Chain A
Amino acid sequence: QKEVEQDPGPLSVPEGAIVSLNCTYSNSAFQYFMWYRQYSRKGPELLMYTYSSGNKEDGRFTAQVDKSSKYISLFIRDSQPSDSATYLCAIIKGGSEKLVFGKGTKLTVNP
């Protein structure tokens, strides 16, 4: 079983839709959770960072962590064509420095 599972998509939505992106993980030692956005042929850009169960909101983005289910989500409200990118979940174990990434979900927002 992979440490982090993420549906690669692709996911295509109309402009203005609410987007839900998800990852599951297998090891309860994971403590820190991040979402990165990666445009084509660019480096990953940090979007959200959280370490506790619950929700964290930043503008149109909400990160949700459910440690009991080992499930993390990223919601994008009022999606825009500029949100079209690959979204990567990344997780770190306590005491470690290496990010463990999901494979990424490719999102297209159609105008």
Chain B
Amino acid sequence: NAGVMQNPRHLVRRRGQEARLRCSPMKGHSHVYWYRQLPEEGLKFMVYLQKENIIDESGMPKERFSAEFPKEGPSILRIQQVVRGDSAAYFCASSPATDTQYFGPGTRLTVL
């Protein structure tokens, strides 16, 4: 049973470009979560989604960030007009229900 998959593993963008991060949950998991880990900081919750629904986006920055989990395909975290402060590791987690969360390997975003 494959774990949570994230791609790309590393992403380099110049300031002002868009970043798209993808997450495929574990088989049978319908709940997806995104977290951000800044250098020297702990993991911070960003957003919680179920298929076609955003359940809790209280951790998302108000501008430039959006997330979706369509009926078909992976969950996408989208960052528009990236700035240097967006450089971080972005982790996706999934769970089968309101239960323990299993994390993917992360996408490391570097903004030049």
Interface residues, chain A, CB within 8 Å of chain B? Answer: 6, 34, 36, 41-46, 49, 88, 90, 96-104
Contacts and interface: CB of A to CB of B under 8 A. Distances in A.
A104 B55 CA distance: 27
Secondary structure at the B interface, as helix, strand, loop or mixed, is strand
A96 B33 CA distance: 12
Interface in B37-84: 41-45, 48, 55-56, 58-59
Interface string B86-100: 000001010000101
Contact of B103 (A45, A98, A104): A45
B91 A44 contact: yes
A88 B42 contact: yes
A101 B42 contact: yes
Contacts of A96: 56
A38 to B, nearest CB: 9
B25 interface: no
Contacts of B100: 34, 46, 49
Contacts of B48: 97-98
